[in-house]
Amino acid sequence: MPQQDNLRIVLAARPVGRPRPSDFRLEHAAVPEASDGQVVLRILYLSLDPYMRGRMSDEKSYAAPVAIGQVMEGGTVAEVLESRHPDFKSGDIVLSHSGWQSYAVADGANLRKIDPAAAPITTALGVLGMPGFTAYAGLLTIGQPKAGETVVVAAASGPVGSAVGQIARIKGARAVGIAGGETKCAFIRETFEFDAVVDHSAPDFADQLAAACPNGIDVYFENVGGKVWDAVFPLLNGFARIPVCGLIAQYNSTGDFEGPDRLPIVMRQVLTKSLTIRGFIQREFVAQRPAFEREASGWIAGGALKYKEDIVEGLAQAPEAFIGLLDGKNFGKLIIKV
């Protein structure tokens, strides 16, 4: 295989607060070579996701941080260029976890083949990938929406939130989305067909949310935290379920949080309303993956589950695109076309 330039983006510094472009470094290296049992991959698409902000920090978390000088991690769709593994051949399209680079070498055990004829290959990073599965497993396992209940989801224009609302409607629940800006809200209302949408940037956001949920909230799928949680919290019904998927409003925070200590109030309501609040990571529910792929594929084919992608051209654009993701500038599943 001829040697080509491998463009890589590594973590140059641990950010304090909001990441900066200088926290990343662009490097050039040779294309790696495969050993027995390995394949060489050409990365086609890179997924950018909010969880990556946590990997840039060295604070204790559910996964080890990216080391300084290490390639930023991330899910990818790639083409097999060279194979020394019996289960893969040149030209295969695979889902891998190769990170922010143009080429990678991988063990066959960490790859999953993708059928380009079944769906656009980018969906393996979005609606049929980790974000879609996160929505499916978190909502159905923890949220357990019932027909006629009200399900509220923050970041409703994103890949997780949009799937949560649509799956809630498939299960017979009423879906209320929260997003920022009229363009996103209109898209959620008209394309994703939520029952109601509220703009969190509106000055009367809390009042609008209350009006959109006249019977209270039975399931709140948490992606954001911050002022969105403040508006949701008083509306929670008895026995409400809160799957906690993300807290993007707080990822760039440093030091102590502003305002009074609200934990006693939250704990009192957890007790008196019998609330269920559970954080989760989608890999906890890996046994549900086959059911998700089967059901989600059918919902997409039948038009019940729609999706939107925000594709940015060029690996070099990844740092700015990622910083924009944390600021809510993306519209749909953010993907880098490498």
Q: Average model confidence (pLDDT) for the chain?
A: 92
What is the Cα Rg of the chain in Å? 21
pLDDT at res. 195: 98
Strands (E), the chain: 5-11, 24-30, 38-47, 76-83, 93-96, 103-107, 112-113, 150-153, 174-179, 196-199, 217-221, 236-244, 276-279, 309-313, 333-337
Distance, in Å, from the CA atom of 225 to the CA atom of 192, rounded to the nearest integer, reads: 23
pLDDT at res. 63: 79
Q: Which residues of the chain have pLDDT under 70?
A: 1-4, 248-259
Retrieve residue 161's tokens: 């939130």
What percent helix, strand, coil does the chain show, rounded to 5?
35, 25, 40
Strands (E), 54-122: 76-83, 93-96, 103-107, 112-113
- Please write the tens of the pLDDT for every residue from 199-250: 999 999 999 999 999 999 999 999 887 889 999 999 999 999 999 998 765 6
On the question of a common fold for 5-126+308-337 and 130-284+294-298, the answer reads no
Q: Which of 219, 12, 34, 47 is nearest to 132 (CA)?
A: 47
Distance, in Å, from the CA atom of 47 to the CA atom of 75, rounded to the nearest integer, reads: 5
pTM: 0.88
pLDDT at res. 1: 41
**Total length of the chain:** 338
pLDDT at res. 33: 93
Retrieve residue 193's tokens: 């067909």
CATH topology of domain 130-284+294-298: Rossmann fold (3.40.50)
pLDDT at res. 262: 74
> Do residues 254 and 16 touch, judged by C-beta distance below 8 A?
yes
Domain extents in the chain: 5-126+308-337, 130-284+294-298
Distance, in Å, from the CA atom of 335 to the CA atom of 338, rounded to the nearest integer, reads: 9
Distance, in Å, from the CA atom of 193 to the CA atom of 216, rounded to the nearest integer, reads: 20
Q: Which of 113, 60, 125, 67 is nearest to 89 (CA)?
A: 113
Q: Which residues pair with 174 in a beta bridge?
A: 150
**Architecture of the 5-126+308-337 domain:** Alpha-Beta Complex (3.90)
Q: Which residues pair with 40 in a beta bridge?
A: 82, 105
**88 alpha carbon, distance to own chain's centre:** 28
Q: Which residues pair with 176 in a beta bridge?
A: 152, 196
Distance, in Å, from the CA atom of 141 to the CA atom of 136, rounded to the nearest integer, reads: 8
Q: Are strands 333-337 and 309-313 parallel, antiparallel or unpaired?
A: parallel
pLDDT at res. 273: 95
Retrieve residue 260's tokens: 């009074």
